[in-house]
Amino acid sequence: HELTVMEIARKVLDLTDSSSAIDFKPLPQDDPKVRRPDITRAQKLLGWSPTVSLEEGLRRTIGYFRTRAAPAG
């Protein structure tokens, strides 16, 4: 199912053990109403389908940025 940006933000907070607040901003007029890409063309033409879950992808992304974050101070 399509996840909301809020659901993804909460998942990131959970995976990072963060207590940061989620800051809401007005949406731009051209903000997409649907954030669930149709991958059928990639599946048909390339034989591709996702093999990494959202949670695992977020974990990998968080790990990537943690190893590249500049030390504070």
> For the chain, what is the domain count?
1
Q: How confident is the model at residue 69 (pLDDT cuts 50, 70, 90)?
A: confident
Residue 73, in any domain of the structure: no
pLDDT in tens, 12-44: 999 999 999 999 999 999 998 887 888 999 999
Q: How far apart are CA 51 and CA 54, in angstroms?
A: 10
Range of the domain at 60: 5-23+33-68
Annotate 42-53 with b (16+ C-beta within 10 A) or e (fewer).
eeeeeeeeeeee
What residue type is assigned to position 18 of the chain? S
User: Who contacts 22 (Cβ-Cβ below 8 Å, separation ≥6)?
Assistant: 6, 9, 10, 13
For residue 22 the two structure tokens come to 């989620």
The predicted model scores a pTM of 0.76
Residue 28, in any domain of the structure: no
